[in-house]
Structure 1
Amino acid sequence: MRWIWIDKFLEFRSGEFAKAIKNLTLAEEHLHDHLPGYPVMPASLIIEGMAQTGGILVGEANGFTEKVVLAKIPRAEFFGVACAGDQMIYEVTLTDLRSEGAVVEAKAFLDGQLLADVEIVFAHLDQSRSNQIFGPKNFVFTQQLLGVLDLAKAQERARHLPAPGDPARPGHPEGPDAVAPSPTDTGKGLTVPGE
């Protein structure tokens, strides 16, 4: 089973930047097991949330043709803890993208305050070698993980639609694709002449 540490994307700019959210609830088992009686999010899982955000950003920049894996974390600084009831915001910027991998700068925020500042290096696995080791299935970009990105893209498309009732909205009676009613249209449905 693979755990997803992103609830949804708030912003996604292809090949540049991603902003994601993670809500911490007492329903998450790791909050009870990490430090019993003190439900804090382990730092490693905060890094994993930023890595998932960054991994999708890196993978999407190449059309998800490469298997992207976390290679190393050269720097990680934490300035506090995240507890049950907190809402973390991950902000990840793609700083370097090459054929062999990528580097991202990732930050986690709580209530607008910096919680973590991390540099993450990703590697692109060689296709022939990764197929020998892992098979053809893309174990990195699972449907569940990509579903988070699909939701963000759908929300973005919806934001750019005119509001309901706006004449510019497709299908609106006065909109650009409106069709004048025919003389046999009563408004309750189409009537057939001679009935």
Structure 2
Amino acid sequence: MRWTWIDRFVTFESGKSATAVKNLSLAEDHFADHFPGFPVMPAPLILEGLAQTGGILVGEARQYRENVVLAKITAKFHSEAMAGEQLTYTTTLLDLNDTGARVSATAHSGDSLIVEAEIMFAHANPAQLPPGLPDTKFVFNGELTHLLRMAAAVSKPPAPSA
């Protein structure tokens, strides 16, 4: 199963907010078992999508000097998300400091509010990780690196036309 739970960014304002989307396809493995005949997106995967959107916002705000680690989520679910829908993840940076950050987050399907959350992140300096863990930016690599490049492209203002 894949680990990245956002498909693309639709807006990205450095140090302020980010909006990403996730298309829910019946072809995704989790829909086969959750639940047969009633394909509902598992709530933890929706929260992971929100955390990835907010985590990228936090990481970019600090030029990816540290890994951004999920520390705490407080969430209230309002409805389910079903296969065939598109989730819109919206995150807003509330606080950012040397030890971590806090974002407010929502997930919508169309006009329907699925979940609202507050997410706290901790900063983990790769050089200070426990022995045995790689001292690399383990969060900002692979698929997320590609999404970060896409986020940067979204955040650039359009070139003036001639």
Give the TM-score of the pair, scaled to structure 1.
0.77
1:87 partner letter: Q
1:160 corresponds in structure 2 to: 158
> Which portions of structure 1, spanning 4 or more consecutive aligned residues, are displaced by more than 4 angstroms?
none
SS of corresponding position for 1:132: coil
**Separation in structure 2 between the aligned mates of residue 155 and residue 145 of structure 1, nearest angstrom:** 15
Larger Rg: 1
**Separation in structure 1 between the aligned mates of residue 49 and residue 19 of structure 2, nearest angstrom:** 11
Q: CA deviation at 1:144?
A: 1.0
SS of corresponding position for 2:131: helix
**Separation in structure 2 between the aligned mates of residue 155 and residue 15 of structure 1, nearest angstrom:** 14
**Separation in structure 1 between the aligned mates of residue 136 and residue 27 of structure 2, nearest angstrom:** 31
Spell out the pairing of 1:75-86 with structure 2 (5 A cutoff). Answer: 75-86=74-85
1:53 corresponds in structure 2 to: 53
Please tell me whether the aligned partners of residues 13 and 155 of structure 2 are also in contact (alpha carbons under 8 angstroms).
Answer: no
State yes or no: 1:141 paired with 2:140.
Answer: yes
Spell out the pairing of 1:26-175 with structure 2 (5 A cutoff). Answer: 26-73=26-73, 75-130=74-129, 132-157=131-156, 160-162=158-160, 168=162
**Residues 52-86 of structure 1: CA distance to partner in whole angstroms, max 9, x if unpaired?**
0000000000100101100111x210110011100
The answer to which of 119-128 and 76-85 deviates more is: 119-128
Give the TM-score of the pair, scaled to structure 2.
0.92
**Separation in structure 1 between the aligned mates of residue 10 and residue 130 of structure 2, nearest angstrom:** 33
1:80 partner letter: S
1:176 corresponds in structure 2 to: none
Please tell me whether the aligned partners of residues 11 and 151 of structure 2 are also in contact (alpha carbons under 8 angstroms).
Answer: yes
**Higher RCO structure (Cα 8 Å, ≥6 apart):** 2
**Residues 3-56 of structure 1: CA distance to partner in whole angstroms, max 9, x if unpaired?**
111110000000110000000001110111222221110110000000000000
> Percent identical across equivalent pairs?
50
Return 5+ residue gaps in structure 1 as ranges. 169-195
**Separation in structure 2 between the aligned mates of residue 156 and residue 100 of structure 1, nearest angstrom:** 26
2:10 corresponds in structure 1 to: 10
**Separation in structure 1 between the aligned mates of residue 38 and residue 53 of structure 2, nearest angstrom:** 26
1:173 corresponds in structure 2 to: none
Higher strand share: 2
| Aligned positions, number | 162
Q: CA deviation at 1:155?
A: 4.5
1:71 partner letter: A
Return 5+ residue gaps in structure 2 as ranges. none
Q: Using a 3 Å threshold, how does the CA distance of structure 1 residues 131 and 91 change in structure 2: closer, same or farther?
A: same
